[in-house]
Amino acid sequence: MAKIQMTTPLVEMDGDEMTRILWKMIKDDLLLPFVDLKTEYYDLGLEYRDETDDQVTIDSALATKKYGVAVKCATITPNAARMTEYNLKQMWKSPNGTIRALLDGTVFRAPIIVKGIEPNVKTWEKPITIARHAYGDVYKATEMKIPGAGKCELVYTDENGNETRELIHEFAGPGIVQGQHNIEASIESFARSCFNYALDTKQDIWFATKDTISKKYDHTFKDIFQEIFDAEYKEKFVAAGIEYFYTLIDDAVARVIKSKGGYIWACKNYDSDVMSDMVATAFGSLAMMTSVLVAPDGTYEYEAAHGTVQRHYYKHLKGEETSTNSVATIFAWSGALRKRGELDNLPELVAFADKLEKATIDTIESGTMTKDLALITTLENVNAVNSEGFIKAIAANLAAMM
């Protein structure tokens, strides 16, 4: 059988620990036998990031801007323990943070639904995708502890030195205060990424804030979304048969729990931090959660939502058997290959991405799965396999489909 051809390279960002092991198995067993894989390879493994003073991360992000589509393996974000473990020159920043800052993107996280892994919320039939605004608010806040009685104000000084003041509180005794900010340009690019992704995936989009209480701050988010929607997206949404729906955050939470799923839920930074863990856990497993960074210029970077699965890697190093779930990493590859196929008009590549996902889901639904899923599945007669056995089982299904 002739291999499927590609025209533009995918930006391939390799990573760390157990996911780096899975990365190679996925390529060897699921991709290379079927696709004449063209990638521009960047090694974001911690050792090479350290060796290049993290330049490789920046280069990989710039390559993503150039080619438009990347696929990324999970990477270590160094902490004090990693400094010693890898004898690092510096505590390098999170690669995801660096890439996100360069691409100015929004992260969309969606669960992979399979029969036998049932959501805790009985009504959920389709995935709920969380869109996270990853700039500002409480994550860039300035805080003070107020030691005792006194006045606290917000002061804005414009470029000519004119001051505008708002009283925050007249303290009669000790207290606390916090100043948050956001910028219109960031909210605008968040809105555009959300609307583009909704069109791309043909799903409704919900957005919620607390504009009734926060009449300037949250209300600005609401207004910017509405203005951009009306000016640039309304007609496209009608044509695609999808909707933009705004409501208050507490109303949104209640509606999400009663819903069937099948939409994108755009949230402010803090709301999505909290809600994405709730949604991911309620859908069953972090190992079944995909993640894609979408930039306002239409650049895409696909990855798994989980980390490098350190505990399994240490077992692997000791020569012990592991049963690490590769589904989210496989779907990162299929997502990236499908997008590359769409952009380059390669229907065979798109069809391959669909088959790879189907082979993966069929494998689980026929009872062959890794231990994390075997522990929670409602299926009977389950065949719990190791990391490699799972990928080999998918490869057999895929070969039969090709």
286 lies in the site for ligand NAP, by CB under 6 A: yes
Q: Does 325 bind ligand NAP (CB under 6 A)?
A: yes
Residue from 310, 366, 383, 386 binding ligand NAP (CB under 6 A): 310
**Binding flag, residue 314, ligand NAP (CB under 6 A):** no
Residue 96 binds ligand NAP, judged by CB under 6 A: yes
Q: How far is the CB of 309 from ligand NAP (least distance, A)?
A: 4
Cβ atoms of 357 and 334 within 8 Å: the answer is yes
Nearer residue to ligand NAP within complex by CB, 17 or 362: 17
Query: What does the DSSP 8-state code read for residue 87?
Result: T
Question: Distance (Å, rounded) from C-alpha 278 to C-alpha 274?
Answer: 7
Q: In terms of Cα–Cα distance, which of 292, 228, 235 is closest to 68?
A: 292
Q: Determine the Cα–Cα distance for residues 280 and 52; give it in Å rounded to an integer.
A: 35
Alpha helix segments (H runs only) across 202-268: 217-228, 234-240, 249-258
Q: Which of 26, 74, 194, 350 binds ligand NAP (CB under 6 A)?
A: 74
User: Rounded to an integer, what distance in angstroms lies between the CA atom of residue 196 and that of residue 200?
Assistant: 6
Q: Does 273 bind Mg ion (CB under 5 A)?
A: yes
Q: Does 61 bind ligand NAP (CB under 6 A)?
A: no
The reply on whether position 9 binds ligand NAP by CB under 6 A is no
When the beta carbons of 287 and 359 are compared against ligand NAP, the nearer one is 287
The entry of ligand NAP, Mg ion, none near residue 273 (CB within 5 to 8 angstroms by kind) is Mg ion
Q: Per-residue b/e over 158-190, b at no fewer than 16 CB within 10 Å?
A: eeeeeeeeeeeeebeeebeeeebebeeebbebb
Task: Determine, following the binding rule CB under 6 A, whether residue 287 of this chain makes contact with ligand NAP.
Answer: yes
β-pairing verdict for 263-267 and 128-132: parallel
Tokens coding 283:
């859908």
Q: Is 309 in the site for ligand NAP (CB under 6 A)?
A: yes
Give 104's contacts (C-beta < 8 A, 6+ positions apart): 186, 189, 295, 296
Query: Is residue 354 near Mg ion by the rule CB under 5 A?
Result: no
Residue (19 or 39) nearer to ligand NAP, CB: 19
* Partner touching 77 among ligand NAP, Mg ion, none, CB below 5 to 8 Å by kind: ligand NAP
Closer of 166 and 320 to ligand NAP (Cβ) = 320
Residues at the contact surface with ligand NAP, assessed by CB under 6 A: 74-77, 96, 286-287, 303, 306-311, 324-325, 372
